[in-house]
Amino acid sequence: MVLLDMGVLGLLRRVSPAVPGASWLHPVPLLQLPPWVAAALWGGGGAMVLGHLLRKLAPGPRYWSVWILLGAVLLTAAALGIGRNGWSPAGVTAMLEVNGAWGLCTAALLRRFGVQR
């Protein structure tokens, strides 16, 4: 998922240079881990929690839209709450888009590999 996030962020930076880049070399203040490790941990934890909460959703448009919206909003809110660098409108927009893509891909992986209902 970290590769997906970086790919989406790279595409966004090609479209709009105003999108801030990721600083993947500086430790995250909470755990003092490299950001790519912290992103993998947060992404995995978020997938487990949301997978459990949303396991009863039937496949269809509602399933995909709920995953995209919750992924975008919850992960972005967590990142803004933990981050130390503040935020900018372009940065928040990029985070919402990247985390929405995370929600879509997580939903696809969970649907593909058969999460228990």
Residue 18 has pLDDT above 80, yes or no: no
Question: Does residue 73 lie within any of the structural domains?
Answer: yes
b/e sequence 24-46, b meaning 16+ C-beta within 10 Å: eeeebeeeeeebbebbeebbeeb
In a domain, residue 27? The reply is no
Does residue 23 lie in a domain region?
Answer: no
Look at residue 106 and tell me if it is in a domain: yes
* pLDDT tens profile 47-104: 888 888 887 888 788 989 999 998 899 888 877 776 655 677 877 888 888 888 888 8
pLDDT of residue 5: 62
> Are the C-beta atoms of 90 and 19 separated by less than 8 Å?
yes
Task: Give 41 or 99, the one with higher predicted confidence.
Answer: 99
Where in the sequence is the domain holding 49, given as residue range(s)?
Answer: 2-18+34-112
Instruction: Count the domains in the chain.
Output: 1
